[in-house]
Amino acid sequence: MQYKYINSIGIYFFLQLVSFYLYRHYDTKNNTKTLSLHHKNDIDLKLEMQQVEAAKANPAQFDVLYENYYKSIFVFIYRRTGNEDLTADITSQVFLKALINIKKFEYKGVPFSAWLFRIAFNEINMYFRKNNAHRVISLEQSNIKQIFQEVQEEDNTQAQQRMMTALKQLDGDDIQLIELRFFEKHSFAEVGEITGITENNAKVKVYRILDKLKKILRTK
């Protein structure tokens, strides 16, 4: 099932329901329910910041960060392109820009990966806008179920079809926020960092989108 629409920056989107197993080959851990590996505890964050500072002092140390995040960035991009060669090209560009700009990185309370995801997010949007290409947004049954829980609506086959139709009525910017928050399980702080808005603004926007979905679903 696919739906096509356009967002405010001129990118055409296809919304499609897919199986998580399409991405299993690229995942960094087997038997996981999420493609996201960005959540960290305080000890992990401290170690990560040490690795970042080492890379700032010596670019050769960047390879540690590259090894840690290559697969998760690749999957993040692949979910949005569906094209392995294109994904590899954009992933390379993301890490090149990260290496060049590593000294500009400032810790803002979220993992280093959020900064990488932001670069990837911008590179993806730039590619599709420049090439007037169609961007795919892929979601799984589990994604749909979580949104039903958030909007407090009954989940069944008929309702899932209505949800897909409701999602189609959102603009591309709204869908990207839903994608980051519910499809990829990013925190609001990470959503804000990736999209270039504040954590509070990300939260407000997401809950407004959920309210919009509620209204759409209840008018069916």
Q: How confident is the model at residue 36 (pLDDT cuts 50, 70, 90)?
A: very low
Question: Percent of the chain at pLDDT above 90?
Answer: 45
User: In the chain, what's the furthest Cα-to-Cα distance?
Assistant: 58
DSSP class of 133: P
Q: In which band, very low, low, confident or very high, does the pLDDT at 6 lie, cut at 50, 70 and 90?
A: very low
CA–CA distance, 67 with 65 (Å, rounded to integer): 5
In a domain, 30, yes or no: no
- List of residues 6+ apart from 60 with CB closer than 8 A: none
Q: List alpha helices for the chain, DSSP H.
A: 42-57, 62-81, 84-100, 112-131, 141-151, 157-168, 172-178, 188-195, 199-218
Model pTM score: 0.79
Q: How many domains are contained in the chain?
A: 1
Which one is predicted more confidently, 139 or 99?
99
Evaluate whether 213 touches 166 at the Cβ level (below 8 Å). Answer: yes
pLDDT at 108 over 50: yes
Mean pLDDT across the chain: 80
Domain, as residue range, for 159: 2-25+35-218
At residue 87 the predicted structure's pLDDT band, cuts being 50, 70 and 90, is very high
Query: pLDDT tens digits, residue range 123-181?
Result: 998 998 888 777 776 666 667 777 877 887 776 777 777 787 788 788 878 888 998 99
Residue 128 lies in a domain: yes
In-domain check, residue 184: yes
Report whether pLDDT(7) > 90: no
pLDDT at 134: 72
Report which residue type is found at 80.
Answer: R
DSSP secondary structure code for residue 68 in this structure? H
Where is pLDDT greater, at 43 or 70?
70
User: Can you give the pLDDT at residue 109?
Assistant: 86
- 55-56-58-63 Cα dihedral, nearest 10 degrees: 20
